[in-house]
Each structure stands twice: as structure tokens, then as C-alpha cells.
Structure 1
């Protein structure tokens, strides 16, 4: 298939390693020498129409060709290209010289129609000699050549022989003939294929047959003056003499699908992954530096390193850089390397700039060796309508995609931040997790949101998949929410969907979701399901108020659901085993929080009538007082002997925290639970429910400050029979191990000193020698802090008056 002239073989077969800067420089030099009439590149032929976009100013690598099945966008494949990829260099050279470009690999229409064995085009790109993954049984040619040369590390051999070519201090290329390296590499690959056979990935024969057919077609169109840029492994197959009939026979009957192709941004971090991308490289940032540095790559690299370390407040001077350069070059000389590689540079950084620690090296690896670079593509690149709407929204909201993970704080009282929140929630509903909610720092208000943002290249596929729901993010999220509401089978699914609809501001979907919610709630009789659904429903009511959404219907459903939980909870408790009791305890806590929030929503603070009278407008009457009804349920649970001790103890604790127990009520219930007639295991469960750290984390502090409860607990514990003590010890250990170290130490001191009383009644005066205890409540001193407390908590006048009433 190839002839030879004085300038070299025709066509010129330029075997490369994908994402190799040495290969990229050699390809550029070879193209300058050959000046071909056309350039053929390993890639999907469907991308031929996208070639002109690579010359646009808005195109900045790393980028990738994306092909996906139009009817099933989830079946997709990427062909990533970095600035230092030989294919990208060849593509840009051809565009600058107005030379036609053709992609010659097996069409994506066939590749994506074949059964997916994790051998998609991403994996197939391991054909250049990169370490193959588990689906590729072909030998690793780079490892084989490195072993022949006496190297135990194939990456180090490749760097020394290929990547460091042309990176001499003066920047001069050492080869007089730019085609010589490709001839040598082709000869080596031919020897490997002869020794080990052509066996490799099962698609290699198909791909090579199609490449030969495309090469023949190009020779008819442009003549023999061609340059072919492909993985080095394929060069012997392309040079092999075969017949057109034989190649067509191999491709006969292949499945075919209708595909769409486009350019999408890529990242250096994604290039560095070996899982899911067989031709991934370990150090894209370093390779990019080797490719772009005009001269003295070691000195320039260590200067970059010094700049990054100074930004992180490391004391790095010019003297450190000079000394690190000398050490790296000395190590390369001792190790017989033509140029200091990453191993030598890392050793020099650790020794000179890091004082022997690995901290600087880890930082440099993330920032420079890999790097967080996100490419860009032109606005007029082909895209589904949903992607175009998303791009417009990102610009309007000034929310630019970035490869580096960053935290975004939102104040929902601001229009722009509220719009950002709606967009991110709608994308999550569509299965496009650009942002993930995170815990807010410094504020627990419902008008605050915190997000962790990171744009991954694979999200482009998610956007294409979501395009079936609509042409805009809003309409697509609405359509998906209504469909999921109809298809949902559990109450928890529908309540979570209702929460998402309010967060994403989808008023058109909410009525459908509410109907489904009412239907599921009416049919579900499992109190566990009802209790699990209630918190999300109540949160949705709060979110609706914060975002200005009418949540009246949702509030009514939440109230009805709470009442059903009140009725069904007591009958569900008797007869539970330990695991069932533990699960129900979680539902008890969640319902308690939900009732408190729902009561706040039902009784919003009223503005004062005037500063003189201090009178307030009475809240609207409620058909049922949720707090009072919930307190009755807790009392029932706390006093019923058939209820497991864990649940009785937790109900007692919740009543105590709410101030719903009469004086001595907690001591009475604790005395009954720890009476001699109670089985020790049940009593230990009661203690775990009562004194275990809940959401407030103050279970231990309760015992520290209430010596009567501590005395009851101590008296019971000392009276547990020896035979039963071993059984209750794990429960007690689990309870007390959750306390802070200081709390456990204080409890130990109080137990050693001995409690002051074990009988119900007014609390005795605490021991004045005990740190943190006083002789009693000083109401004047307590009232003095109320104004400051009001400011810290952000309460209005009503909250201040309530605090005053409590203090008085």
C-alpha cells in the first residue's frame, strides 16, 4: 500500500502514542517535512464535519469528540485530545495549511451499536501502547519494548526514548530526519506483532480493515502524498497488503445505529484516569509543560513549582529553585537519564523545598503534575437544545463550569443566587449532578444554601440523555417530575419528589406530585413509611415559604400525615425486637423535629401592636394543636410497659426537652424503668434512649447537671446482678462512648464523689467546689444577657418577649 520516494515512504505512516508530547513534536516536524496533500487521523469518520471548529478562537484544549446514539444518548464514547496530543497537532497543522482532514477509524455508528463490554472507543484507544485495561487482552507493547531495553518501568523508558526528545536545554531537535523515529517505531511494532501475533482487542481487526479502506479511498482522491496519524500498534496492519474484498468481508453485517457527534470540553484530571480510558496518562500537566516549554524545561518547571508553593505560604526562594535544578540534573546523570524526569524532580522538590516531607509533592501533583484544566468549545458547536439552554442559563447567572471543585455559598434572598439554586436543583432532578448540596458553615437558616461544584466531561452525556424530557432545563425538569410522580410506587419517593419540585421551583409539576402524594398517603398504612415521609414533607413546606412558593396544599397533606403518625405509632411499638426498636427510635426523633417545624409554620410570629402595650395579635386558631397531640403520644409511649425500653426512654427524653413533664416526672419514669422488677436489658435500653446523644448531642450534659437522674442511674447500675451485667454492658458502653471526653470525666468525678440524693423533689444546691455549678438561678443576671441573646439568635420582638417571660 505504500511507495517510497527520496523524501521517505508514501503515504507517511506516523505511528504515535496518544497524548505523548514527544510524539506530537515528531508529528509536527514530519508534517513540515512531508507537506502532505491530506492528513488522515485515527478517529470516527462522523466527525469530519466538525473539523473546521478546531480552528475557532473559542476552541481551547483539552477537548473531546463526543458521539452518542440519538435514540439512546447514554450509549456514548469520547475521543479526548489535549494540546500535546499528536492528533490535535496534526489537525491544527492541516487547518493552518488548508489541507483536508479525514478521520479513518471504525465509525461510531458501528462501535456504539455493538454490545458494550466496556470496550467502547474510550477503552479501544489503548491501541497506542498505553497500559490496557481488563477488557484488553493484547500485550502491552511499551512494556515489552522497555523490558527489551533493560527498563523495569515502561513509563520511564517511554519518557527517556520518546518524550524527552527535542527537550534539550537549547530546544533543538536531535534528529536530522523527522521521519526516522516513526520508521524505527514501526519496525519495533512489526517485530512485536510477529512475535506475539496480531491478537488484541477483538475490535482491532475491524478497525484496521476500515482504516485500510479509508486509506485506499484517500489515495484515489488525493494521491499517495498522504500522512496517516494513528496508534503505533496499527502501523504494521496499515502497511500490510490486503484486498479490498477481504477488508469489506470483515466489516459485512456490522450493527449500525444513528449517532450524533460534537465537541465537548475535557479536563486534565479526566485524562489522567486509567479506569474507563485505556490511553489515560499519569501526568497530563507535566506532558503539557514538556510540549509547550521552548527551552530549559527543568528550570521552567521548578520555577512553576516555586510559584505554587509561595501561594501556599511555603518559604521558597530563588536559591531553592537553583539548588533543586542542580539536584534534579545530578540525579538524572547518576541514573543514566537524558533529562530529569518527574521522579528526579519530585525527589529534588521533597529534599530542597519540602525539608524531606511529602506535603509539597502532594500539592504539586494535584496542581501541576495533573492540573485542573477545563477546555472550551465554540458556542456554535452542535448540541442538543437542552445544552444550549443550559449554556445560556450559566451565562445569565454568571455560573461558569470549572474543573476544579469549589464551594458556592448562596443567599436565596438575592435574585441571582435564587436563580442559581433553582438551576442546580433542576439539574439534580434531571440526573445532572453538576453541584451537590453541602452543609452550610456559619448559618443554619433556610435562606442559605451551600453547594460543591465540579464540572465533569461525562455530564455532557447526561445533558444529552436528559434532552428527551424537553428543550429547556425548566420544561425538562417539569416533564420528568410529573412522569416520576405517576410512576412512583412508594410514599417516600413521592415526598422526596415534592421536596425537589419546591426546591427547583416547578409549579406546573407540583399539582401532579401532590395528587400522587395524597393517593399514596391514603393507601399506605405502615407507620414507618409515614414517619419516614413526614420530615421531607415538612422541609418542603419550609422551602416553599422561603422561596415564595404557595405550599398550602403541601402543608395540609403534611398535617394530615402527622396526625396519621400520631394514631399509628403507639400500636406499632409493642413486640418490636432490638433492631425494630432502633429503627423506630429514628422515626420518633424525625417526627419530633418535623412536628416542631410544622407547628412553627402553622403559627408564624406576629408583629407587635405597639411598644407601649406590648400586645400581640393572636395567631389564627388551629383545628388541632400538633404539639399538644404529639406530647400526648409521647406520654403514652413513655408509660406503656409493652413498649420497648429504648422507645420509652426516648419518649421520656423528648418530653423532658420540651418541658412537657411535671416536676419530678422524669425521675418518676426513670425510677419505674430502673426498678428491680425490670429486666436489666430493657432497663439498659431505656437508658440508651433517654441518655443517648441525639441530634443535640447533650445526653451526657443532662446527667452532669441533674444529680437526681445521675443518682437513679448510679443506684440501678450498682444493683445489676453479676450475671446480667455482662448482657447490659454493650448497651451502656454504646451510650456513654458517644459522650465527649470532658463529659465522661465529669460524670466519673460525680460518681466517685457520690450523688447527693435519690429521691424526687427540688434539686439540691450543687456543690460549690464543682466547676461550673452555682448556688442557684440568679434571675437578674439571666435577664441581663437577653438583649445580646436576642441579637445572636436573630429573634424579633416576639421572641424577645418570650425570652423575657421565661426569665421572669
Structure 2
């Protein structure tokens, strides 16, 4: 990072014959700041307005105030190289900067940003964060703590609940134009004095960065004066922290110093924003806690009706409660207004603050309970407003493509910060006339899958019923500023969603290590309707399939191909060429299942999942794959004693479903597996695997439970405890009705009637102690 720029004596003052440059300090997202700034501009009629913000974005100001733009919006700067780093500058209708833009547009004044160009700002941010992560993190934490303590102390001395309440009462409710500006100026100077030493000691990078920014802003002010604007005709709109140092004899950045600054290539775009992201609930540092409330504050200010703010706020809250079925009388609202005014008078306030209004609402409308009105409060405090940018306003190509696709597929109504459900039926709709309407849901699915693979988190896919899995999709859609940012980041991968999604799949193909990953990419390309990418992934899978892969990867690859083939009639993709590959992978998996089953219990879980996949595939593609070989290998696994007992039991359960064994063969195998003398990890482990498949088949065979009962009773104490590890796992997955059926079966063996009813009665103290002792036992030691 460049060395901090020192303040040097003797620099030319930023003044002239017509006076000094006028600096108006503001707080970002301050309705009173916006109102008093507009009044100030009306009074001084400047020829140039200079605003804190990236100087390379000045060309976008005319678009920010163009017709059809609806705040909140944001200016986004991002690096043109991966990994993408961003800087965000949000504007609400009540942002002082936005109102400065509008005033300049109405009166023909020059208007420019004067802060560091985004390329310098992002480069310096990157250097600072690297240094912080290694050596300055602790100091920065200490600095943040001391800052919080300062704000807490200010609130305490002013007898306010927090700093935000202090700020609103002292500054937002300051009705005098000149008084507001002068108070901000004095506040800026005093806060710098209070924090300067701490910043130099604990956050030197941040202090240096601010010095660089301020020297650059002074340079831009000087350039404006040299362009012919008189100092008295120039108004600088900046954060209050910088207001006191942008004029006078402070150092102005030189050409040499500017050339020495770190730089990275960046791009700029505009994007819609939301009130939620403006709120401090989202983590945005320069936000406010209640953007919808401050929008109402701004509207009352503009109309000259600020005293009506409590009435409007609490009436809106009552209306929101009514929408949700909670009714409050007009008398309750009036009582809440009076209480808020009384609270304000106790703190020498001329008008209630947001905190006063909330406190009164909890008491008078919530009956003293915040939970009663919490949801309604969120709507009147934060709101669900999302900004809008019309066509033609500067955006990246992929943002434009996304906007076009949302319009084409009638998804614009889902551009809301409130989550909404969307159910898709991918089958052709034969009741409509046009092809686009017939395949509307299918094309929606393609778009949403492309967004998913690009990590543009607008939509989240949910599971659907098994009988509708091939033609139905269920999504949850929710728009946020992150959606826009992620779309902007995808610009580096392609100028349209289709090209960018194909790029992502191509990049992933280059790093694939096994056939399971390749098969997943074939499916992803299919879902995204990218046939070329699908063919590339298929060729790679064929290459990888030459070498033997693990049983789990082979099963995963085969299952993915099976899914793609099942989707073919819906997705309109050619999949006949995948069938030979599916057959090859299935055969390899079937022939390697016994080898894979030679494992311990920790490794058995993925193998068991792979067995499930291959069996489902054998049933789905009967006639296309060799099901006889599969059942033969499962039979070998079910009868082998040198393989994992859980996997053997699971294979046996599958064969029971298929009626592959005669009754006497079943009895003989159960007797062999659950006979006295068999160690618990073999006998109870085998039963655990057996219980994981088709419980009805188990419950319909009393012989099985007779042998299990005899086997458990034959175990010594230590082996019995060991068996509990497996039995507890097995029965924990049973439904209550299944457990009741098991109790009745065992009760019948023991001569006890209505055993399932005994399970539902309260436990005795002795039974509780036994159960507690069992729960406290450390089974892992076994």
C-alpha cells in the first residue's frame, strides 16, 4: 500500500474571490440530511455539486436520475478478474446523495463523484484485508470495540437506549436548516478528535486509506475550481466524518502520488436494491435499522407534515395487524400516539423517535408482548420494497439477459424479497396453441437450473413426490441484491446465461477425477439444455469408464445416467447413446458389489447407498440392464460370512422382496445368522441391515422374530450390550406404528397381551433409572 499522505503546511486553500467551497456533511441514508441539503441547494444555487463516490462512475449519475428508475438502487463496482471483489454504493429515495443528483438534474448543475476511482479503491481494500488477516486482526477488533464503547457512552450520556436513538433525536429531528449543517460540522470535528488516536494506534491501514481518499477528494475539488467554477458556487456532499478536512490548507494529492496508487481493472453497473438490504439486519454497515420507517419520515418531511409521522406509523402498524387477523381499535392507536409523545417529552424531545414509537406500539397494540406485533413491525419498519431499473439503464449483458428471460417466462412477479413457491409441470401443455406456452414450465426449469449452476441464488429446488419426480419440480423463489451481484459476477463467464452456464460446466469438466462427477455434469447439462456440454461430459465419462472406479462412483454414475434417460421424454434430449454406457456401468457395479462389501461399519454406509441405487436402476431399466447378474451377486453377498454383516442383511432383505428364496431357505438363513454363539456385531449387525428394507416383509414373518428373541436371550451381558448398538440404530428408524407391531409380535411370543399398549403407559421409577443408565452408557467404547 502507498505510504499515508502527510498533511503539509502551505498548500493553497480551496478558496477564491467568491468565498470558500461549501461542504455539506451528511449521514448516508438520512431523510433529514436529504431534506436540509435540498433546502441548502435551493438557497445557494451552486453551479457544481461534488458527491462522495467513485469518480469513474460520474457518467452513471444521469442514468440514476433517469425516468423509470425507482429507488432503492445501488451502484456496484467489481473487478474484471476472478475472484470477483465488489464495492457497493446503495441509494434510497431519502439518500442525500440521490437528492443531490436530482437537484442537479432539475437545475442543470454539473454533478460528479469525487472519491477514489473504483480500481484504486478495490486494490487498496485488497491490500488492507490481506495485511489484516495476517497481523492486524486483533488490533482491528480492539479498534471496533473501542468504537462501540464510544457510541454506547454517547447514548448513555444522552439518556437514550442506543446511539441510533441519539442520532435520530438530535439530528433527524433538527428542524433548522442552518442549525442542521452547523451541528453536523461540529459533530464531525469532535468525533474525529475522539477517534483519531485510536485509529492511528489500532487501525493504521484504515487511517492511511482515509487519508488517501481525502487527499484525492481535495484534488477533485481543486480540478473543479480550475475548470472555472467559483468556490462559492461549489457544494461538496460527503459523509460527516470527512466534512471538516476537505477544504483549507490540507494536502491535495499530486499526479505522482496518484500514479503510485495500487490499481486493479474494474467495471461498474447499476442494480435494483431492497429495503431489507438497507437495514442493519442484513449486515450493511452504512444502513439503518428501519428503512421503511425512514421513507415515511422522508415523505412527511417533504409534505411539511412531520408532526403526523406518529399517527401514520402507528396507523400503518394497526393496518398490518388487521391484515393478519389481529384487530386493534382506533382508540388503541390514539393511546399509542399519546404514549409515544409522552416518552419523547421525558427525553426533552420535540417529537417521538422510532424507538419511542416501537415502545408505545408494544404496550398499546401488543399488550406488552413484542411477539404479538413482531411481524407487523417488521413490515412497517423494514418493508419489502425492491427498486426498479428500466430498460436502457446501464447494466451488464448478463443482467439484461436475465431480465429478458424473466419477462419471457412470466417470472417477473417473483422478483420480490418475500419467498414464493413455484410448482412446475414439465410435460407439454396440449390445451394451449403456441409452442412457447406449451413448454412454458419446461423453459422455466431450464432457466432456474442455469441460475443454480451459476450460483445465482434466486431459486432453490425442493424435493417432490416420488411418483411425480420425472415431470414435476417444486422451487422456492426469492429475489435479493445478492442475486444481482451474483449475476454481475457471472458476466466474467459469458454475456448470456446460456454461455455462462456452458462455461461453468466446461471448467468443471477440466477438474473431474472420477466418473461419478462426470455423470453429475451430464445431468446438469441436460437440465440446463446444453447439448454440446452434455456431449463433452459424456465423452469424458466414456474415457474415465475405461479404468476401474470405486463401486460407489460406478453406482453413482449409473444412477445419474438412469435419471437422464428417464427424463428424456420430458427434456427432449437424445439419450439412446447413453444406454450402452449405462449397461456397461451397471454390469461393472454388479460384479464388484461383493468386493466392495468387504469393509467395516464406517465404510458400509456409502456402499449401502450404492446398493440402493443399483437395485433401483435394475427395477427401472428391466430389460436394458442384466438384472439376473445383479440378483446372483446379491445372493452371493447375502449368504457370505466374510462380508460386512449389515450389507449382507440388507441384500437378504432385497431378496425377500423379490421372493428369491423359498420359505425353508429363509428359515435356515435366519436361524444361521441369529443362532446362539454368533457375536453381537455379526448377528445384531445383520439384523440392522435386514431392518433397513421393507418393514412389511419383516413384520409378516413371525419366524424371524422368534429367532431374534432367542438370539438376544442367548447373549452374555457384554455381548448383549454390544448388540444394543445395532438394535438401537435399527429400531430408531421404525415408525411408531411399526414399533407397536413389533411389540405385539414379541408380546405374543412371551404370552403377554396388548404389549403395544404397555409401551404407551408411563414409566415406573425403576424403569426410568434403567433407561437413564442405558442412555448414559458409552456405546462407542464397544
The TM-score, its normalising length taken from structure 2, stands at 0.84
Q: What is the CA distance between 1:273 and its match in structure 2?
A: 4.5
**Which consecutive segments of 4 or more residues in structure 1 shift more than 6 A?**
132-138, 767-771
Within the candidate set 288, 291, 312, 2:324 is matched to 312
Distance 2:56 2:691 in 1: 67
2:747 paired residue number? 752
1:170 paired residue number? none
Distance 2:184 2:618 in 1: 74
Deviations 1:481-522 (A, max 9, x none): 234324422222211111111111111222111100111122
Unaligned runs of 5+ in 1: 121-131, 166-172, 603-621, 758-766, 772-808
SS of the equivalent of 2:713 reads helix
SS of the equivalent of 2:245 reads helix
Q: What is the CA distance between 1:252 and its match in structure 2?
A: 4.3
CA shift in 2, pair 1:685/1:429, >3 Å: same
Which has more helix, going by share of residues?
2
How do 1:509-548 residues align onto structure 2 when only pairs under 5 Å count? 509-548=533-572
Within the candidate set 217, 231, 240, 1:211 is matched to 217
Within the candidate set 220, 231, 237, 1:229 is matched to 237
| Native 8 Å contact 1:710 1:755 kept in 2 | no
Q: What is the CA distance between 1:420 and its match in structure 2?
A: 0.8
Deviations 1:669-703 (A, max 9, x none): 322211123211211111211114x6xxx63x555
Q: Is residue 2:430 matched to residue 1:418?
A: no
| Native 8 Å contact 2:464 2:473 kept in 1 | yes
Q: What is the CA distance between 1:337 and its match in structure 2?
A: 4.5
Deviations 1:27-86 (A, max 9, x none): 222222222221111000111111111222221111111112334471322111112222
How do 1:556-705 residues align onto structure 2 when only pairs under 5 Å count? 556-574=580-598, 576-599=599-622, 625-626=626-627, 628-692=628-692, 699=695, 702-705=697-700
Q: What is the CA distance between 1:443 and its match in structure 2?
A: 6.6
Distance 2:631 2:368 in 1: 62
| Native 8 Å contact 1:309 1:360 kept in 2 | no
| Native 8 Å contact 2:457 2:482 kept in 1 | no
Q: Is residue 2:90 matched to residue 1:80?
A: yes
Within the candidate set 231, 234, 246, 1:238 is matched to 246
Unaligned runs of 5+ in 2: 1-12, 131-139, 430-438, 758-782
CA shift in 2, pair 1:342/1:634, >3 Å: farther
1:551 paired residue number? 575
Distance 1:464 1:134 in 2: 35
2:774 paired residue number? none
Q: How many equivalent residue pairs?
A: 712
Distance 1:292 1:73 in 2: 41
| Native 8 Å contact 1:491 1:524 kept in 2 | no
Q: Is residue 2:182 matched to residue 1:158?
A: no
Q: What is the CA distance between 1:4 and its match in structure 2?
A: 10
Distance 1:669 1:38 in 2: 93
Distance 1:206 1:187 in 2: 19
Q: What is the CA distance between 1:134 and its match in structure 2?
A: 8.6
Distance 2:210 2:635 in 1: 73
SS of the equivalent of 1:43 reads strand
CA shift in 2, pair 1:407/1:275, >3 Å: closer
Q: What is the CA distance between 1:441 and its match in structure 2?
A: 6.5
Within the candidate set 384, 387, 402, 2:399 is matched to 387
| Native 8 Å contact 2:423 2:474 kept in 1 | yes
CA shift in 2, pair 1:375/1:73, >3 Å: farther
Distance 1:184 1:668 in 2: 93
What is the alpha-carbon root mean square deviation over aligned residues? Answer: 3.1
Deviations 1:178-226 (A, max 9, x none): 5333343344345435675776444101100101101111223311121
Within the candidate set 251, 255, 263, 2:262 is matched to 255
The TM-score, its normalising length taken from structure 1, stands at 0.81
SS of the equivalent of 1:523 reads coil
Distance 1:369 1:441 in 2: 39
Q: What is the CA distance between 1:379 and its match in structure 2?
A: 1.5
Q: Which moved more, 1:201-210 or 1:361-370?
A: 361-370
CA shift in 2, pair 1:12/1:508, >3 Å: same
CA shift in 2, pair 1:671/1:331, >3 Å: farther
Q: Which moved more, 1:45-54 or 1:451-460?
A: 451-460
